[in-house]
Amino acid sequence: MMGPRQELQAALFYEFSLEAHVPQDHLLRAIDRFVGLGGIRQHLAEFYSHTGRPSIDPELLIRMLIVGYCFGIRSERRLCEEVHLNLAYRWFCRLDLADRVPDHSTFSKNRHGRFRDSELLRHLFETVVARCIAEGLVSGQRMAVDASLIEADANKQYSAPKEDWDPARIERETAPRAVREYLEVLDEAAFGAASEVEPKFTSFSDPASQWTAARKGPAFFSYSDNYLIDTDHGVILDVEATRSIRQAEVGSTKTMLDRVKKSFNLHPERLVADTAYGTGPMLGWLVDRKIAPHIPVVDKSGRTDGTWSRADFEWDPENDRYVCPEGQELKQFRRNYSDPTRGPSGKGTARYRALKEVCQACPSKADCCPNADARKITREEHEDARQIARDIAKTDAYVISMRLRKKVEMLFAHLKRILGLGRLRLRGPCGASDEFLLAATAQNLRKLAKTFPIPPKPATP
């Protein structure tokens, strides 16, 4: 039998509990156990006035931002609508049914003011990392680093070619916020000072973003999101926003390792990365700090014409020489010269040469230097560190490290596909940093929630 038509009937009184209507296995319930925001008000105390109207609770704004980044709600206007309608979101944000949701413009005012001035989002991220360490998800022995391109909120149609771009003509007083931030980072290694090469195009709306075609497709403006993770459970230990060029990405590794050492006293035994990080200076920096580089070496010493390469020559560090397969030596200096051009090149390299008469009489000259009078070998400044990395690449531990490195790529895939951060909404270096920090915080919180789920309640008899 068909039941009666369901009609809305208003009641005079309701007994309603948000706590009872949020499922026990809801993701936000698990995340809520690890969100420690008790110190936010104290952290922001000096950035609020002692007079005037009471402000919106900063903990409420942070909880709403966590909801947005955990569930891929990119628009703050839509986030306010979702928190208004969703009971679980209201419960997580400590809002009752009759409480008013803040206006979306409140986020912009706080982000561009006290949140950035106090580095609140960095403080929030490090608080969550400290909780991951306390829960035993971080050993600090094996770390991995990588970068991913995130499209900037910029368009080529509103850009200028490099011959028409001149930062000196920008009026700082009337420039938009993203342009003023660009002028402030011109001398920073992560942005303007990362490379002397000028980009092909510069965006008027977000000039700090990088015009790049690194994806082997149509070029676009982007920032690089750099992650330093602990490979035990894939916890993000640090995050840094840079220009989308290799020099800035590699340089951010040093910044993140130093910051993790200072903030959490974590010093890894090994660092895992791809070939982009296998340059001599980077490997030398790691070896000097007693960090084993599990990184493929950038090596261009090999030859394609079938003649002997540098690897066929034996290095004798005690006598500062190379020894060829025929037993002859190649030395850097054989006597002192007054001509300064005969000394070191000054480019971080040293050249070792064999004697011309020895090479001319050598039976293996056709296999060594058929088109030269004598053999020459170039040795880079950090060749010892490069050799350490080559030796590590022959071990079983290196094979394991290369598998663990995929955890960084999985985090970037999760960032773009699940959290929806394929394109930035905020402009400027600070905007990119804010979004990357919040997204990494959400990923770590989701990691904690999935690793330590809420145990089910026992069934009542």
Q: What is the pLDDT of residues 190-212, one digit of tens each?
A: 998 888 888 899 999 999 999 99
Question: Does residue 259 form part of some domain?
Answer: yes
Coil, helix or strand at residue 19: helix
What pLDDT is attached to residue 422?
Answer: 92
Average pLDDT rounded to a whole number, residues 305-331: 85
Q: 36: pLDDT confidence band, cut at 50, 70 and 90?
A: confident
Matching residue, tokens 């014409």: 305
Question: Does residue 226 form part of some domain?
Answer: yes
Q: What DSSP string runs through 64-112?
A: HHHHHHHTT---HHHHHHHHHH-HHHHHHTT--TTSPPPPTHHHHHHII
What's the domain range around 256? Answer: 138-276+405-439
Question: Which two tokens mark 425?
Answer: 């909404």
Question: Does residue 52 form part of some domain?
Answer: yes
On the question of pLDDT at 4 being above 50, the answer is: yes
| 99 and 221 housed in the same domain | no
The more confidently predicted of residues 51 and 64 is 64
The more confidently predicted of residues 217 and 60 is 60
| 92 and 197 housed in the same domain | no
What pLDDT is attached to residue 5?
Answer: 65
| 271 and 145 housed in the same domain | yes
What pLDDT is attached to residue 194?
Answer: 86
What pLDDT is attached to residue 345?
Answer: 47
| 268 and 167 housed in the same domain | yes
pLDDT digits (tens, 9 = 90+) for 126-149: 999 999 999 999 999 999 999 999
What pLDDT is attached to residue 373?
Answer: 85
What pLDDT is attached to residue 12?
Answer: 57
pLDDT digits (tens, 9 = 90+) for 166-192: 888 888 888 889 999 999 998 998 998
Contact 432, 150 (CB under 8 A): yes
Q: 336: pLDDT confidence band, cut at 50, 70 and 90?
A: low
Element at 18 (helix H, strand E): helix 18-21
pLDDT digits (tens, 9 = 90+) for 220-247: 999 999 999 999 999 999 999 999 999 9
What does pLDDT average to over the chain?
88
Residue 59 and residue 38: Cα distance in Å, rounded? 8
Question: Does residue 262 form part of some domain?
Answer: yes
Residue 431 and residue 178: Cα distance in Å, rounded? 8
Q: 346: pLDDT confidence band, cut at 50, 70 and 90?
A: very low
| 108 and 148 housed in the same domain | no
| 249 and 150 housed in the same domain | yes
| 316 and 200 housed in the same domain | no
Please count the structural domains in the chain.
3
| 222 and 78 housed in the same domain | no
Pairing mode, strands 270-272 and 142-151:
parallel
The more confidently predicted of residues 133 and 49 is 133
Residue 147 and residue 137: Cα distance in Å, rounded? 22
Coil, helix or strand at residue 264: helix
Element at 356 (helix H, strand E): helix 356-360
Contact 128, 236 (CB under 8 A): no
Average pLDDT rounded to a whole number, residues 317-337: 81
Q: 458: pLDDT confidence band, cut at 50, 70 and 90?
A: low
Q: Cα–Cα distances in Å, from 262 out to 255, 256, 259, 267, 282? A: 11, 10, 5, 10, 20
Residue of 207, 35, 155, 144 lying closest to 412 (CA atoms): 144
On the question of pLDDT at 123 being above 90, the answer is: yes
Average pLDDT rounded to a whole number, residues 416-432: 93
Residue of 53, 64, 56 lying closest to 90 (CA atoms): 64
* Polymer length of the chain: 461
Letter string b/e over residues 139-173, b meaning 16 or more CB atoms within 10 A of that residue's CB = bbebbbbbbbbbbbbbeeeebeeeeebeeeeeeee
On the question of pLDDT at 347 being above 80, the answer is: no
What pLDDT is attached to residue 461?
Answer: 55
What pLDDT is attached to residue 2?
Answer: 61
What pLDDT is attached to residue 11?
Answer: 61
| 193 and 259 housed in the same domain | yes
Residue of 230, 217, 269 lying closest to 411 (CA atoms): 230
Question: Does residue 111 form part of some domain?
Answer: yes
State CA 211 to chain mean position distance. 18
